[in-house]
Amino acid sequence: MRSWHAELVSDDAENPKLYRPIPTIKVSRFYERIERDDDSGEYWYKCESGMNGWLGLQKLKVVSITRKSTKKFVRNRAERLWSYSPSGPSIPVVKPDSKMTYRVSLESPEFAGKGWTESSPGFVWWYRSHRNKVLHGSEALDSLRTDVNAVRAHLFAHRYSRGKKKETQKNRITWHAAVLLEWDHGKYCTVVELATLNGIGGRLGRSNWYPDKFEPKTKLFQDMPPCMIVPWKGAYAEIRVNDVASKSCDEFVAYLKQYEGEFTKENPGGTKRFLSPTVQYSHAVRLTYRSERDIMQYLLNYMGRDRRYTQEFRNCQAFAADFYAFVCGKKDIEPYHATIRLTYKRRTHLFLYNPDMYSIPGESPSKKEEEKKEEESDTTTTDWGDYWDEEDVY
């Protein structure tokens, strides 16, 4: 969750494209921004403008440097050139060229394992689109109303439009699910969903719930705080809460239908997003405490107990079933698709309890697991196309 990698390129290379999934930076700029802590001897990358356009990558500890030959007939394996050690050698100055590539392993400060900022833990964010404000973590509780209450909930699901890509068998059984909340003021509704960590900030604010998804710079992206503009991480989750213009479930379904269907010659701009949108359940919210602030606290509790994202059991459909069952007080609620039902176990109790009083799954991996992850990261190549379509990981 706190680990990052960056690719170092020659100063003679073209300026790297912004927002690469593995940030790219010219080697001299990297070393210019390195500072050594006098007490610990640790090396830190510090830059207020972040790295490669990612504004959230402002302060990162340098953990190691690896190199890899680009020659076709040389064994194509990454080699660890340097790792930080209090008593070890100083960080070496490397010179990337056409024969050798270099990658730096970095680590965010410790608080980044619990939230986007130290003062506001919790990987839950709420987009107040009518106020042009993104709230995140526990500090959001201070800005949410206690006199606005949820009155109805609707669990809906859809498949993704693949556009020009051929739909595979996996695509046909891949459904995204979320919950739509209606409020007693009747002015707008709110979509609540679980998805991959930084999946919106890491994709330039492209959200299916707003018409401007394919604009060069979306309104959501402009409203996001810098700390949330970081590459996405598919192994971890976040909960997203989006206020949308629809005032009722019927209006929201009409919005889904507006963007339903595949790309066509008549519509080459790619505005189609959904396939087969369906409302699975609808019921009144039966919680005693159901204000905006209450809902946020429940979500912070749920997310704080388990930060993982998995296709098998910790995914959008499992969360939607849990959240709908919890707010509506309903039993026998199941995920939308049969494949997810096979491994689904209800976890509605996670909404109720303080996560700080429990151990967190996956928070403290064993040394063997850490070494395995590091080895995989050293030998895995990454392409922008592998990271862009979030629907591929649901």
Domain ranges of the chain: 3-108, 117-368
pLDDT confidence band for 74 (50 / 70 / 90)? low
* pLDDT level of residue 73 (50, 70, 90 thresholds): low
Tell the burial category of 120 from Cβ atoms under 10 Å away from its Cβ (0-12, 13-18, 19+). Answer: buried
* C-alpha–C-alpha distance, residues 11 and 9, integer Å: 7
- Decide if 136 contacts 116 (C-beta within 8 A): yes
pLDDT for the residue 214:
87
Task: Collapse the DSSP code of 358 into the 3-class scheme (helix H, G, I; strand E, B; otherwise coil) and give the result.
Answer: coil
**294 within 8 A of 287, measured Cβ to Cβ:** yes
Identity of the amino acid at 390: E
Lookup: tokens for 163: 């556009």
Checking if the pLDDT of 48 tops 50, the result is yes
204-239 pLDDT, tens digit per residue, is 999 999 999 989 899 999 999 999 999 999 999 999
Q: Which residues contact 2 (CB under 8 A, 6 or more apart)?
A: 107, 108, 109, 110, 112, 113
pLDDT of residue 72: 67
Strand 124-128 to strand 100-107: parallel, antiparallel, or no bridges (unpaired)? unpaired
Residues in Cβ contact with 266 at an 8 Å cutoff, skipping those fewer than 6 apart? none
Give the model's pLDDT for residue 360. Answer: 82
Gap between the Cα atoms of 113 and 1, Å rounded: 6
Q: What is the pTM of this model?
A: 0.90
Q: What is the pLDDT of residues 313-344, one digit of tens each?
A: 899 999 999 999 999 999 999 999 999 999 99
CB count in 10 Å sphere of residue 27: 18
Write down the pLDDT at residue 178. Answer: 98
What integer pLDDT is reported at residue 162 of this predicted model? 77
**pLDDT for res 44:** 98
Report the pLDDT value the prediction gives residue 231, as an integer from 0 to 100. Answer: 97
- Which of 97, 78, 17, 2 is CA-nearest to residue 380? 78
- Asked if residues 351 and 300 have their Cβ atoms less than 8 Å apart, the reply is no
Worst-scoring range by mean pLDDT, 162-171, 307-316, 335-344, 347-356? Answer: 162-171
Kindly report, residue by residue over 268-318, the tens digit of the pLDDT: 445 689 999 999 999 999 999 999 999 999 999 999 999 999 988 899 999
